[in-house]
Amino acid sequence: MKDKKSLLGMIARYLLLIGISAVFLYPILYMICNSLKSVQDLVNPTVEWLLVKPTWENFTKALKTLRYGSTLPFTIFYTLAATLAQTVSCAMAGYGFARHEFPLKRFWMIMLVAAFLIPAQVTLVPKYLMFYNYGLTNTLFSIWLPALLGQGVNSSIFILIFENFFNSYPKSFDEAARLDGAGRFTIFFRVAMPMVKPAAVVSILFSFVWIWNETYTAGQLMGAELRTLPMKLESFVAEFTSIYSSGSGDMSARLNESSRLAATLLVIAPLILLYIILQKSFIRGIDAASGVTGE
């Protein structure tokens, strides 16, 4: 009786899991499929999913248009530096909020949320003028500096996440270290940070993805010279047609779309790779943390 019930529950669970996975996987499959379509497949109305003559041509064109070989290392370097800066500054702020009582704390917490909510469109013009005055426009520092001071992409949410995690392990750990004579920064880096490893992994992973994908502010502040992969994707159609101008008409538009989908896949591929790499340590970190805090 009980077995029958749990079997049914399991079937229901897998049906739901598979159904929802389909919603998420469909766009990826659509992109892969359409980016591999050759001219023959595009012309053939019976070809929807099963390709008769798949081709890498769209990918080689997209690689060339994006200048993948040089843009990819640059984008990784830029994003990684901003990610690490942002994670350290947010962890410090989160620790300050979670582990200390001080005057105006509530006020600063409200400012934290307010800072998060302000749309980039509002502050862009003043920000640009300020960086221009200091000669920091068209440099990477126009993005790195805010990240280092906890004002990067969605920094507030990371501060809140760190605050949440720092709050969830006993204060006695910190106090024990203090009694052993550890200084405040030693406690922070050697005792507190290892306790919130899952939060750090979440912060690194999400920061990387969001900074990678952020093109609105960074595109304005870093100028026309420093262009990341997603920025190049935004101007892909213009650049593509200037290299491979193949006349007009429906056919070339659809060919362009195939190349654009190939380019889109190339732009998110590093992110998916990063996730696959970090996923294991993400889960391991969570499991390790739950062993300690689940008293």
Quick one: 51 or 145, whose CB is closer to another protein? 145
Least Å distance, CB 241 to another protein, is 17
Nearest to 258 by CA among 64, 30, 26: 30
For residues 87 and 158, the answer to whether their CB atoms sit within 8 Å is: yes
DSSP class of residue 50? S
CB of 53 to another protein, least distance (A): 21
Label residues 136-169 b or e (16+ Cβ within 10 Å = b). Answer: bbebbbbbbbbbbebbbbbbbbbbbbbbebbeeb
Question: Which of 208, 192, 189 is CA-nearest to residue 278?
Answer: 208
- The smaller minimum CB distance to another protein, of residues 27 and 223, is found at 27
Q: Considering the complex, what minimum distance in angstroms separates the CB of residue 194 from another protein?
A: 15
Report, in Å, the least distance between residue 210 CB and another protein: 6
User: In terms of CB distance, is 54 or 219 closer to another protein?
Assistant: 219
Nearest to another protein of 209, 226 (CB atom): 209
State the minimum distance, in angstroms, from the CB of residue 149 to another protein: 3
How far apart CA 89 and CA 92 sit, in angstroms, is 5
* Complex with another protein: residue 19 or 249, whichever CB lies closer: 19
